[in-house]
Structure 1
Amino acid sequence: MSPTVAACQTAVDDLDVESNLETVVARVEALPDRVDVACFPEQALTGFVPDDRIAETALERDGPELDRLREVAGEAGIDLLVGYVERDDALYNAAAYLRADGPTTVYRKRHLWAGERELLEPGESLVTLETPLGRTGLLTCYDLNFVAESATLADKRVDALLVVGAWPATHSDNWRLLLRARALDGVRWTVGTGRTGRRDVEGARVTDYAGRSLVARPDGGIRAELDTDERDLVVDLEDGVLERQRDLVGVFAE
């Protein structure tokens, strides 16, 4: 049976962890039983504003919020990928992969964008892990722009990339293009889950987000995509597609 992924496109209430947590839990509980992995956007639990308020909102990976999502993952039998701002020795733009049955893996965004750079520290390591989709790499938003990251992950024979994003609506075509490119240059499935809606917080610049979550095929074509609605994109990753494309282009023949 083909694995099934859900890109859960959501708006985010910046600085309101309780509201965002409720949104994630409700969306997971409403997913079809066949879903193996559900992905939520960049900073889906915390949102982001480029000032010290984000430090007060940041979460610890062993805190009650992620504990709650581990419980939800177990109850639903679904692995979850959820973005948040993490508090540790510093602040990080993080994405936690929470297993229905197994350890949690956290990826920290390596390439920070604009207002993030003054407040957050970049991550140091690329992350790959085994998931129901096969060997899987994790990326966050602006990481997509860096072809060297994609090349390194391709060397590891990654079958899928899961990308969490909060891409501005003004550049949404770039988000779509880069997701397709990263699928094509590594010959793998790529799942991009984007934030939608608007950030409208006192003291921060108003920003509209692109949404446009999509699943790109290993040939760079689009398997399925959303516009800007708050919806779940549920997609079966068809058996045999990855193998046929790799045989065709011969990227991993040597």
Structure 2
Amino acid sequence: MSTLRLAAVAAEFGRDLEEDFAIAERLIKEAREEGVHLLALPEACLGGYLLSLDNPASIEEGDLDEGPPALALDGPEISRLAALAGDMTVVAGYCEAAADGRRYNSAVCVTGDGVLGSHRKVHQPLSEDASYASGDRFQAFDTPVGRIGMMICYDKAFPESARALALDGAEIGVCVSAWPGARTSAVANLEEDRWKRRFDLFDRARALENQIVWLSANQAGTFGSLRFVGSAKVVDPGGEIIADTGVTAGIAVAEIDVTQALETARRSMGHLRDRRPDAYTPAGAVTV
């Protein structure tokens, strides 16, 4: 499959898992009616995100939250999501209950045939590590719509994350987020928010520097003390935004010939091809 309809969601999800599934089902149905092949739902869309990113010790007792429900990768909830996906490829965020007893902020990619790939968030902002363990790898995987690499929110602030996936053959980067507006000097209009600008810059830069197609999904609305910037989008390998929801809830849909787009972007200046890894080790660094 070469020409694809890709979609990224900005929507509000909370703690009520049944309500979250109802929202996901509606969005998947809407995407299917649009002929979408690959749909990205936000970080923590099954069970909601954290109420705050402040240190738990600084939060008043009445505001403490047990966090989202922890779901097993091979459990009934992920199977339910796969059944909803059917012939569509769907990426969604959730709190993963691992066999080792830890909880991870995770993303899963499914079709009606089951789980195609999963990712545990590696980079944790502020006090998120008080609620989740950290993942330790970035790995691309094959799907009916091409080779995909997944990231979660703060992962995209690190160029190495997307580069590792691109070097592993990812043609499409999918980053699911619960990215809020600025914590200080907040503005009334989210379009003018500096964290929203950073969100957009990271999306465009990660697509451009790796010359891959990029889907960015995000939470919208508010949850606890957090006010999310929305701004779900599809970005082409040249770093141009070709579909965008703005700061409100919605679905950004774009049609793109992925193979042709990658070939065109990489024809003259191939950022992966022209790398010089031998020149990137800082002087005096000790290699292991």
Q: What is the TM-score normalised by the length of structure 2?
A: 0.80
Are 2:74 and 1:65 aligned?
no
**SS of equivalent to 1:176:** helix
Deviations 1:199-252 (A, max 9, x none): 13xxxxx11100001111111111111112221111112352221111121234
The CA distance in 1 between the partners of 2:214 and 2:242, in whole Å, is 10
For the 8 Å contact 2:108–2:115, the answer to whether it is kept is: no
The CA distance in 2 between the partners of 1:143 and 1:252, in whole Å, is 20
Are 2:198 and 1:174 aligned?
yes
For the 8 Å contact 1:167–1:194, the answer to whether it is kept is: yes
Deviations 1:33-70 (A, max 9, x none): 52111110000111122655116x22122222211111
Offset at 1:183? 0.3
For the 8 Å contact 1:58–1:91, the answer to whether it is kept is: yes
The CA distance in 2 between the partners of 1:183 and 1:117, in whole Å, is 27
Q: How does 1:117-156 map to 2 (within 5 A)?
A: 117-156=129-168
The CA distance in 2 between the partners of 1:233 and 1:159, in whole Å, is 19
2:10 match: 9
Identity rate, percent: 27
Match of 2:247 among 224, 228, 233: 228
Offset at 1:115? 2.7
Counterpart of 1:80, as a letter, is: V
Q: How does 1:96-107 map to 2 (within 5 A)?
A: 96-107=108-119
Counterpart of 2:226, as a letter, is: T
**SS of equivalent to 1:35:** coil
The CA distance in 1 between the partners of 2:43 and 2:13, in whole Å, is 10
RMSD: 1.8
1:23 match: 23
2:186 match: none
100 and 5 in structure 1: CA distance in 2 versus 1, 3 angstrom threshold: farther
For the 8 Å contact 1:40–1:83, the answer to whether it is kept is: yes
The CA distance in 2 between the partners of 1:175 and 1:47, in whole Å, is 20
Offset at 1:157? 3.2
252 and 127 in structure 1: CA distance in 2 versus 1, 3 angstrom threshold: closer
2:59 match: none
Match of 1:90 among 82, 102, 105: 102
- In structure 1, runs of 5+ residues without a counterpart are 201-205
Aligned length: 245
Counterpart of 2:23, as a letter, is: T
1:203 match: none
Q: How does 1:26-65 map to 2 (within 5 A)?
A: 26-31=26-31, 32=33, 34-49=35-50, 53-54=66-67, 57-65=69-77
The CA distance in 2 between the partners of 1:223 and 1:48, in whole Å, is 28
Match of 2:261 among 219, 237, 241: 241
The CA distance in 2 between the partners of 1:207 and 1:112, in whole Å, is 16
- Which protein shows a greater Rg? 2
The CA distance in 1 between the partners of 2:220 and 2:210, in whole Å, is 27
The CA distance in 1 between the partners of 2:19 and 2:174, in whole Å, is 24
The CA distance in 1 between the partners of 2:79 and 2:138, in whole Å, is 24
The CA distance in 2 between the partners of 1:158 and 1:71, in whole Å, is 25
The CA distance in 1 between the partners of 2:238 and 2:30, in whole Å, is 31
For the 8 Å contact 1:37–1:132, the answer to whether it is kept is: no
152 and 109 in structure 1: CA distance in 2 versus 1, 3 angstrom threshold: same
**SS of equivalent to 2:150:** strand
Offset at 1:189? 0.6
Counterpart of 1:30, as a letter, is: E
For the 8 Å contact 2:9–2:251, the answer to whether it is kept is: yes
- In structure 2, runs of 5+ residues without a counterpart are 53-63, 183-194, 275-288
Offset at 1:99? 1.8
Match of 2:171 among 159, 166, 173: 159
